[in-house]
Amino acid sequence: MTTKPRQQKATPKRPISITAVVDCVGALAAQSTHGNLYLYDTNKAGGSAGFGTEELKTKVKAGDQLLWAVLALECEAFVAIEDIVIDKEVCEPVRKVYPGTDVAYWIGTVKKDGVAVVPYQIKFKLGTQVEPITTTLSPALVG
């Protein structure tokens, strides 16, 4: 009797989460994210750098799924990501909402391998201000 080797199920790869922590009061007062934005991702072991700064460098490769979310430093402040401006040939983030909630996030898949440095900007909606505040220094995807 011969036995067939068991096939192992491929474990789905977890997305790289990029979290923006915004000091809303400071950003509104300064009309700038400079000094009021702290970026983190879940790929430190993979080579990301610049944690806690506005110039986070997220290490990526083709096929990586990226998930952007935002948190307000102050519990009573409103902040949301209005847009992510990045080279569409590298990644096309789209806005999604968690089912049954009004909690939004942005998700995109890296399309190319070996990207050198691809800077991007995040536009934040803060408080009741109509115009978004855009990052002054650029985070980036690096290959």
- Could you read off the pLDDT of 95-128 as tens digits, one per residue? 999 999 988 999 999 999 888 899 999 999 999 9
pTM summary value: 0.88
Give yes or no for residue 60 having a pLDDT over 70. Answer: yes
Residues 5-29 have pLDDT tens digits of 565 555 567 899 999 999 999 999 9
Q: Where are the beta strands (DSSP E) in 1-143?
A: 16-22, 37-41, 57-59, 65-72, 79-85, 94-97, 104-109, 117-119, 121-126, 133-134, 140-142
Q: What is the pLDDT of residue 7?
A: 59
According to CATH, the topology of domain 16-142 is Immunoglobulin-like (2.60.40)
